[in-house]
Structure 1
Amino acid sequence: MRLQDIAIVTNSPLDTDMVLLEKFKSHDRIQYDPKTDLFSYRHDFNFRNKAALLTEIQRQTRKGGGIPVRALKESWKEAPQAIEELEKEGEVLVTRTVKDGQLRMVFWNEIKPDEESGGKPVEKEFLDLWHQLKVPNDVDLLKALASEGLQATAAETPIPKAPSTKKKGKRSVPRQRQAKITNIHLKGEIDLSRDYHSTTK
């Protein structure tokens, strides 16, 4: 984008204020090309194909974490489709949102299900056996534990709260204080124990 266009869009004196322009050029998210005199936004990642994407995912996973798919999508619009292809190929592992199954995080799959990498795919027979296992209900589980001389772990006991010192119940109504009459000359004419409001203003 041209400098004049940025100044118009942001409504700032970017093209006339040299100090502001130097700070703008030195910003870590701004990329300036002196040949074309154009400015662009610098993304977190710089890749434009599936192979470079996989390399970046591998680099981040080796550092100890995955990459949010949103950040990858900002750098390259076709990143989600490439990630899904890599997931089908077994190159990456993906976490998804529970609500709608959207891609959330992507990790490099270090152990691939083939002989060369050391991993093997799980046999279908084992998967079927695993899914056929039923978890016993609580009562049967407690009986089975008791028959083996074991007991279930107890939940953490909550710490009892200290009793409050305030008594609950009806509040006592404040007593009506007797007004001390100091203006003796008004005695009898006006009841000084009540608030007095003049009828005329």
Structure 2
Amino acid sequence: MSSLARDAAAFKSALHRQDYTSWHSQPPPLQQQQQQPAPESTDVSSKSKKKHVVYSQPADTGSGTNVNTQLVYVVNHLKSTGNPTRLQDLAILTNTPIDTDAVLLEKFKAHDRVLYDPKTDLYSYRHDYNVRNKAALLTEIQRQTRKGGGLSVRTLKESWKEAPQAIEELENEGEVYVTRTLKDGQMRMVFWNEVKPDEESGGMPVEKEFNDLWHSLHVPNDVDLLKQLASEGLQATAAETIIPKTGAGKKKGKRTAPRHRQVRITNTHLKGQIDLSRDYVAPGAK
């Protein structure tokens, strides 16, 4: 075999061993993947995600970060609790710096609904009525009724959660009167029943016979009522007559005749020559 033939055979064998696939279509080795940076599209997506994150918003603590908002939150929690509470417990339960923030603590102590007991170092909410049992509730209802009014059941419930149940018991015992809403029958106002349902107080219910007699009576109409009063020598009460005002009968736009006022004569030197009491009109004047 000539040298030219040997070179041709070696070239063909080299061509068979060569890999013609592009290196772009083949994934790089694992080590090269770890060393290569992430694609640019991934960086863009991550940057776009970071743009949507708002870092200026505080964490949602439930009580806000404003001092006045935190004050309202703490006072409302103290109101709903109904029991004296330590300052540290209020800070934990409300998630507010009430025990460390001097401004918040000063506003809290100065609140008109906050009561502080220096002996026990406890804070409590000052309700409109200090009632904690059925007897104290009845005493408060009696005091308010003597002043000429009743008590709101909602306000009493805020002072004492068991107030509605106690009011129902007092109503069944005949101690109080309760007004209710027409829509759902919920209790609205409560009044003290001064006349008890017993013989001594005179609050016994009227017998059925008298109730039937009362409801059997019918009020006659106006014409028959006047006739019946006249037959008994009576008359209906006259209604109060309304006296019209002076300017009530005048019509708008209607002018009244001018009044002639007495003229004071000052030209006394012409007296006897010209009648000054007459109005002189020049000839030809309209």
Q: Provide the TM-score with structure 1 as the length reference.
A: 0.62
Percentage of pairs with the same residue: 78
Quick one: distance in 1 between partners of 2:158 and 2:250? 55
Q: 1:155 to 1:98 in 2, by over 3 A?
A: farther
* Residues 1:86 and 2:170 aligned together: yes
Q: Does 1:75 align with 2:134?
A: no
Distance 1:151 1:96, change over 3 A: farther
- For structure 2, the residue ranges without an aligned partner over 5 or more in a row are 1-62, 72-96, 255-286
Structure of larger gyration radius = 2
Secondary structure at the counterpart of residue 51 of structure 1: helix
User: What does residue range 1-201 of structure 1 map to in structure 2 within 5 Å?
Assistant: 10=69, 16-18=101-103, 21-22=105-106, 24-33=108-117, 39-97=123-181, 101-160=185-244, 162-163=248-249, 166-167=252-253
| RMSD between superposed Cα atoms in Å | 3.5
Task: Letter of the 1:10 partner, please give it.
Answer: T
Task: Specify whether residues 106 and 127 from structure 1 end up closer, same or farther in structure 2 by C-alpha distance, changes over 3 A only.
Answer: same
Q: Which amino acid aligns with 1:94?
A: V
Q: CA deviation at 1:66?
A: 2.4
Distance 2:233 2:140 in 1: 53
1:77-132 CA distances to partner (integer Å, 9 max, x unpaired)? 34233323322221112334566654333222122111344533322222222222
Distance in 2 (CA, whole Å) between partners of 1:163 and 1:99 is: 50
Taking the aligned partners of 1:163 and 1:101, their CA distance within structure 2 comes to 53
Give TM-score scaled by structure 2 length: 0.46
Structure 1 residue aligned with 2:19: none
Please list the CA deviations of residues 133-185 of structure 1 after superposition, one character each: whole Å capped at 9, or x if unmatched. Answer: 222222211111111222222333344351455339xxxxxxxxxxxxxxxxx
CA distance in 1, matches of 2:217, 2:161: 43
- What is the aligned length? 163
Q: Using the TM superposition, give the Cα deviation of residue 56 of structure 1 relative to its aligned residue in structure 2, in angstroms.
A: 1.8
Q: Provide structure 1 residue ranges, at least 5 long, that are not aligned to the other structure.
A: 169-201
Q: Which has the higher helix share?
A: 2
Corresponding residue for residue 16 of structure 2: none
CA distance in 2, matches of 1:21, 1:110: 47
How far, CA to CA, are the matches of 2:201 and 2:128 in structure 1?
30
Give the distance between the partners of 1:102 and 1:155, measured in 2 at CA: 42
